[in-house]
Structure 1
């Protein structure tokens, strides 16, 4: 007796429940994303910053003295302090609604872009090293040495602008790459830890440039006893993009091009593939035939070159009257925060640099409102705190747990079992 084949089943129509489950899955993936976590970390920082503004405001403190008699006065004072402070931040960094016309009103945003350019460049350098598994905290030394290197080689050339500007820019990038390349070479050859190397080289660069700008015949400006270099040659200065906005110059477009280059390098090039492989697992990368020491050197050269670009945004754009060992203006360490907030991605770092540029540009308006300029540093520190602790942000906002957290816990449990055995 032969068996008959079962009749083919008709395809089942998709139910509404299937659609909801698929939509829920997409929503969960979005909420797990690093962009959402970073944005919520910023929200947390702004909320805590608002609390600090309210606690330190004199009107709020005065109204709190008779809170139970007239609680409305306290809440009104809190609203005025917090909203006024953040309105001043917006007015000083994005758009000034009190300006006479629109073109004048957007000047704060051009100030933000100008302040963001060196932060983005240095942040990209830190991000490149992070993607390879190197914790580069030497951007300060790379910026300082890059500035000194270009001054030594190019400030006395007296060339036409068409030659002086690109030669000065290239020398600064090369100087930063040399200083960071020392770290990459020592890491590759000896296995020395890059954190110790970069910290020590920061001190070396700062003290070396201190000596240079204090010594006649090296970098010190002729005819003065002050520790300062000669002014940047007129032919080496970045031209303004728009005459009306002097704080926005060619340096921002160069940084934008550098962002595109870093994105292509890390996400599209074969070298970037090898760099990411080393960052994920150096042992596996070595097994696959990748030269891990060589990748370390490449990564630090790129990181230093980008820090040198940040130096050139200072020397050729912002500080053209001469510089000293403080030319980095804290950019070297702020770059670490920018790279962390940008999740070590090129465009994420670009956006984080714009954000921190806005905080710097708006800080002066906040100070005019009565809020100390150091408040910006507090907000930056809180952002770092929350960015460095994604599980904390997810717990605060009841977001779904990341698979990376689960795998990390699994690895931790496996390690504990191995130790116990």
Structure 2
């Protein structure tokens, strides 16, 4: 018999393989060479130091948004509001980075903390409504995404600038830029944020697996009624889970505000970092190491896709199809589990 841990490893791997195979078949159906297409994708992600730096940059916010979704899911919650929490975290980080003068290391830390606090506060509201009034977190978090987007646009125009659609760049003391890394990667936009992302992945693993609070959060996620019967405060744990989840999401926004762009601007649409984090968490089976690996895959697909039209003539939209197919197979993981169980029984 296969354990749940084995299934959590096997199902995503098979889903990725099936997604890539399905993508190859689609390329063949439309007259493209799948071998050339995937080779171009690989070269576009890892072909030289510049592409490698860009891939790491793309992976960084995906790790944090994936952790945000995964942490909430481990507590039995579906945080669809990661996108909004990313936006407010981005704004808070840039605000600290432009409005205050501090010593270099201190300034970065304070800006990151501001982003985490902003994301946590944005996660606190749906957590409180869920815990106290039983309001479904999906509905509240979806609505708060739009509030975050339009409120941030208003703050940028009316408070952070004199009617401009773009803030000033953050101070060098608050920047996550890594000049020496950018130089050796031929001036890619890589920054120190990947260190923060890895530290947060370790933090999530440690909290969930090595602390009493983490045990309670996992217990509430598995069975809130049994947890309440055993004396755990379900409502409090729901709020804590959403607050921590929002903190991870806020840091994902800080990676963009302090690292990739180093400013905030008015936007007509979402960043999609938070929505992609849902897919990353699903593929990573809601585990810290799984999220990191899934983020690497998604970052590779996103950056590598940019090279496919020029090198292989394959449209980048096919990568979105491949990603959608991978998520489809992950969501249909119960079929893969059924097949494994069936074949294991027949083999006995």
TM-score, length basis structure 1: 0.76
Equivalent residues in 2 for 1:27-42, closer than 5 Å = 28-29=2-3, 33-42=7-16
Deviation per CA, 1:347-388: give whole Å up to 9, x if none: 101110111011111011112232222222211111111101
Larger Rg: 1
- How far residue 164 of structure 1 moved from its aligned partner, in angstroms, is 1.5
Q: Quick one: which of 321, 340, 343 aligns to 1:399?
A: 340
- Distance in 2 separating the partners of 1:188 and 1:127: 19
Q: Counterpart of 1:390?
A: 333
**Which of 166, 169, 180 in structure 2 is aligned with 1:228?**
166
Q: CA RMSD in A?
A: 2.1
Counterpart residue number, 1:290? 232
Q: Which residue of 1 aligns with 2:323?
A: 380
Secondary structure of 2:306's match?
Answer: helix
Corresponding residue for 2:192?
250
**C-alpha displacement of 1:324:** 2.9
Listed as ranges, the matches of 1:63-74 within 5 Å are none
2:246 paired residue among 304, 326, 346: 304
1:340 aligns with 2:282: yes
Unmatched segments (≥5 aa) in structure 1:
1-24, 61-77, 97-104, 404-421
Does structure 1 conserve the Cα–Cα contact (< 8 Å) formed by 2:176 and 2:193? Answer: yes
Would the alpha carbon gap of residues 29 and 272 (structure 1) be closer, same or farther in structure 2, given more than 3 Å must change?
A: closer
Q: 1:175-186 residue pairs with structure 2 within 5 A?
A: 175-186=118-129
Aligned residues of 1:311 and 1:328 also touching (Cα < 8 A): no
Instruction: Report SS of the residue matched to 2:20.
Output: helix
- Which segment is superposed worse, 125-134 or 382-391? 382-391
Write the distance in 2 (CA, Å) between the matches of 1:106 and 1:155.
Answer: 31
2:160 counterpart (219, 222, 226)? 219
CA distance in 1, matches of 2:172, 2:87: 21
Q: 2: distance between equivalents of 1:168 and 1:37?
A: 38
- Work out whether residues 187 and 296 of structure 1, in 8 Å CA contact, stay in contact via their aligned partners in 2: yes
Contact 1:238 1:249 in 2 (8 A): yes
Counterparts of 1:12-23 in structure 2, within 5 Å, are none
Task: Report if aligned partners of 2:76, 2:221 keep a CA contact under 8 Å in 1.
Answer: yes
Candidates 84, 91, 105, aligned match of 1:141:
84
Give the aligned partner of residue 18 of structure 1: none
1:32/1:402 contact within 8 Å kept: no
> How many aligned residue pairs are there?
339
In 2: Cα distance, 1:350 partner to 1:315 partner: 21
Q: Aligned partners of 1:164, 1:249: CA distance in 2, in Å?
A: 16
* Aligned residue in 1 for 2:103: 160
- Kept in 1: contact 2:126–2:137 (CA 8 A): yes
Distance in 2 separating the partners of 1:282 and 1:111: 42
CA contact (8 A) 2:153 2:265 kept: no
Name the structure where helix makes up a greater proportion of residues: 2
Instruction: Quote how far apart the aligned CAs of 1:262 are.
Output: 0.3
Cα separation, 2, equivalents of 1:389 and 1:322: 38
